């Protein structure tokens, strides 16, 4: 198949090119994001390969269908950005990479916890400036703390296993799961919110989870609790989280995703004026850590994304059954 990649970076090209000899595909890479205006660039190809912030609404899918695209290959697990009913109506297959490396995302969530807690990012900058003081670097033991997990898929379970290894008591909420490893207590969302010292979000973005972390649920959390989000930005209502930080109720926030990230993440804006007051406000808090959607970003994950995506394309091209196909 002839595949055209949108929103591609150097690391995408490197990972896909390194294994393309194992498949019979022709690859073209574009830095442009996919929108209804850029869809015309896919003309002459069989499939488009897209990432988390590419637009795949009905209008874009119609434009893709008009230029002969038969498949959308998502090089990510989430698919909330795709109008699946429209894709089905237009006869466009949609396939994703459901589990490229649960450990990569889980480990990044733990890294954010450790950084916020032990303030290693601040200590690093201090020492480089010759400041060896320990003032205002006090953290807390993870051992014995209650860690709440929202979403107990593969990433949530991988995260819970790590925190169990630290000696934490792990509780979790997942509306579709009724089984979990013995060290995880399945419970209600309210108990996760009210009992946890640390909450880590690992659920997909759906109508039910959009702004799940809002004013009401933030008020249920323990004063001084830590909130980590490596799932999807819109699971958190940003303005409500900012308010909770301002009044001193939420103790720490670590986010690798942001509900307005498509205008910011995966770009170098170091010489630009950032026109987003909420992200600027978040970055002004000393107890907030923001990373730019890098939780998945390991060598192993990139290889798995490339291999699964190209296999998805091969299966679609051959009409073979594929569990990763959403449409």
Strand bridging mode 198-201 / 146-150 = parallel
Residues of the chain with CATH 3.40.50.720: 2-100+298-318, 102-290
Please give the structure tokens belonging to residue 171. Answer: 């509780």
**If you average pLDDT over every residue of the chain, what do you get?**
96
Beta bridge partners of 200: 149, 228
For 102-290, which CATH class?
A: alpha beta
How many Å apart are CA 68 and CA 40, to the nearest integer? 10
* Mean pLDDT, residues 14-28 taken together: 96
CA dist 308 → 104, 153, 200, 216, 319 (Å): 16, 19, 27, 40, 16
In tens, the pLDDT along 210-238 reads: 999 999 999 999 999 999 999 999 999 99
In tens, the pLDDT along 248-258 reads: 999 999 999 99
Q: Which residues are designated catalytic?
A: 232, 261
In tens, the pLDDT along 50-68 reads: 998 898 999 999 999 999 9
Contacts of 142 by beta carbon, 8 Å cutoff, 6+ apart: 113, 117, 163, 166, 167, 168
pTM of the prediction? Answer: 0.92
The CATH number assigned to the domain with range 2-100+298-318 reads 3.40.50.720
In tens, the pLDDT along 92-141 reads: 999 999 988 899 999 999 999 999 999 999 999 999 999 999 999 999 99
Q: Which single residue is written with the structure tokens 């107990």? A: 152
Residue 293's pLDDT is what?
A: 95
Question: Please, are residues 25 and 312 in contact by the beta-carbon 8 Å criterion?
Answer: no
């Amino acid at each position: 198949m002839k595949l055209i990649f949108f929103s591609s970076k150097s690391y995408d090209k490197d990972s896909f090119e390194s294994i393309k000899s194992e498949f019979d595909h022709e690859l073209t890479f574009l830095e442009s994001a996919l929108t209804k205006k850029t869809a015309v660039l896919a003309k002459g190809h069989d499939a488009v390969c897209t990432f988390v912030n590419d637009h795949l609404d009905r209008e874009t899918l119609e434009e893709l269908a008009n230029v002969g695209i038969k498949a959308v290959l998502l090089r990510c697990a989430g698919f909330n950005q795709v109008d699946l009913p429209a894709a089905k109506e237009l006869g466009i297959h949609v396939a994703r990479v459901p589990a490229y490396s649960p450990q990569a995302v889980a480990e990044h969530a733990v890294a954010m916890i450790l950084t916020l807690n032990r303030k290693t990012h601040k200590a690093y900058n201090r020492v480089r400036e010759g400041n060896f003081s320990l003032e205002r670097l006090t953290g807390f033991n993870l051992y014995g703390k209650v860690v709440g997990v929202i979403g107990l898929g593969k990433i949530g379970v991988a995260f819970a296993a790590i925190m169990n290894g630290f000696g934490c008591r792990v509780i979790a909420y997942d509306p579709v799961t009724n089984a979990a490893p013995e060290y995880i207590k399945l419970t209600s969302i309210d108990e996760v919110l009210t009992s946890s010292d640390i909450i880590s979000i690992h659920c997909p973005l759906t109508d039910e989870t959009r702004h799940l972390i809002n004013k009401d649920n933030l008020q249920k959390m323990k004063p001084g609790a830590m909130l980590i989000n490596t799932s999807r930005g819109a699971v958190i209502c940003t303005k409500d989280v900012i308010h909770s930080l301002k009044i001193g109720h939420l103790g720490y926030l670590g986010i690798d995703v942001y509900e307005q990230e498509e205008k910011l993440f995966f770009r170098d804006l170091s010489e630009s004026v950032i026109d987003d007051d909420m992200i600027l406000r978040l970055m002004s808090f000393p107890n907030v850590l923001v990373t730019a959607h890098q939780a998945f970003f390991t060598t192993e994950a990139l290889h798995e994304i490339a291999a699964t995506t190209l296999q998805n394309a091969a299966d679609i091209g051959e009409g073979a059954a594929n569990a990763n196909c959403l449409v």
